[in-house]
Amino acid sequence: MNQEVFAAVAEALERGEAAALVTIVSTTGSTPQRVGAKMLVFADGRMVGTIGGGCYENDAFWKAREAITNRRPQVIRYELSDDFAQETGLICGGQMDVYIEPIEPSPELYIVGAGHVGFHLARLAHEVGFRVHVVDDREKFANRERFPTAVEIVAEDIPGWIARTAIPAHVYVVIVTRGHTNDLEALRALAPRDLRYLGLIGSRAKVARIYDQLAADAMPAELLKNVHAPIGLDIGAVTPQEIAVSILSELIAVKHGKMRSRDAQELSMQWNNLK
């Protein structure tokens, strides 16, 4: 059974699909499964393997789905009491500790814009474990020579490519194109998407102009609440290399749960401050 679970873990990682691995790590007394029994739970409710069935497996299932969302492991103790045995029909009477571990694939980073900042960000992001995709409408910039470690390089019209491409929800996306118009159109196409991270480069004044244009086009402010703009942590970055460091620092902070997306109230305050 565990072989089936391990195969499913490998396939999930290969597909870039998040899941949570549930493992019995200790038992006392009579339990329906031994230490080491595993099941894999996916965000859509699919399961592979079992830790014994019954209501405790159902409870572990829901906690595993929570772990996929909050990305925090935990150990749960189940008391397999007489009441539990009566409810489930299982004659146990022991204790069981279950470890729930989120399984995350290597993070995927889409860099929209292959200019100076995108070039340095791609190199640094690859070094810390991101799988980098590069998108630009200029083949002179978006090519294998400039981005030898990228898993994908796209040299096409940016809004057109975004419109026909299914970008998974676990993906990080940064918009660092060469100009206002390209940034605007990229954000217009990406803001409605459900993404792990979406960031837009630019000064506060530039971001304000883009937001005003999107508002004038009737884009709901709610769609912009998760946009990190201006992008990156405020470290006083000036050069493209420094800006790339500030962006990567923010990506890492989001990855490890040290920074949450901005909520609607923060968005309102941000918009007012930009103006």
What is the tens place of the pLDDT at every residue in 51-102? 987 778 888 999 999 998 888 899 999 887 654 455 544 445 578 899 999 9
Q: Note whether 128 and 261 are same-domain residues.
A: yes
Domain that includes residue 37, residue range: 2-103
Residue 224 is classified by DSSP as G
Q: Inform me whether the pLDDT recorded for 17 exceeds 80.
A: yes
Residue 257 near residue 223, CB atoms below 8 Å: no
pLDDT at site 260:
61
For residues 4 and 137, what is the distance between their CA atoms, to the nearest angstrom?
A: 43
What are the tokens at 252?
């890492």
Q: Note whether 121 and 11 are same-domain residues.
A: no
For residues 95 and 93, what is the distance between their CA atoms, to the nearest angstrom?
A: 7
Q: Note whether 176 and 79 are same-domain residues.
A: no
pLDDT tens, position by position, 169-209: 889 999 999 988 999 999 999 999 989 899 999 989 999 99
| Final residue in a domain of this structure, among 50, 83, 103 | 103
Q: Note whether 72 and 115 are same-domain residues.
A: no
Residue 175 near residue 187, CB atoms below 8 Å: yes
How many helical (H) and strand (E) elements, i.e. helices and strands, does the chain have? 9, 11
| Final residue in a domain of this structure, among 37, 69, 103 | 103
Q: Note whether 36 and 91 are same-domain residues.
A: yes
pLDDT band of 164, cuts 50, 70, 90? very high
Query: Quick one: 154 exposed, middle or buried, by C-beta within 10 A (0-12, 13-18, 19+)?
Result: buried
For residues 235 and 227, what is the distance between their CA atoms, to the nearest angstrom?
A: 19
User: How many domains are there within the chain?
Assistant: 2
Residue 84 near residue 107, CB atoms below 8 Å: no
Residue 200 near residue 183, CB atoms below 8 Å: yes
Beta bridge partners of 228: 199
| Final residue in a domain of this structure, among 60, 82, 103 | 103
Q: Note whether 8 and 64 are same-domain residues.
A: yes
Q: Note whether 43 and 113 are same-domain residues.
A: no
Q: Note whether 178 and 266 are same-domain residues.
A: yes
Q: Note whether 59 and 183 are same-domain residues.
A: no
Q: Note whether 85 and 128 are same-domain residues.
A: no
For residues 53 and 9, what is the distance between their CA atoms, to the nearest angstrom?
A: 20
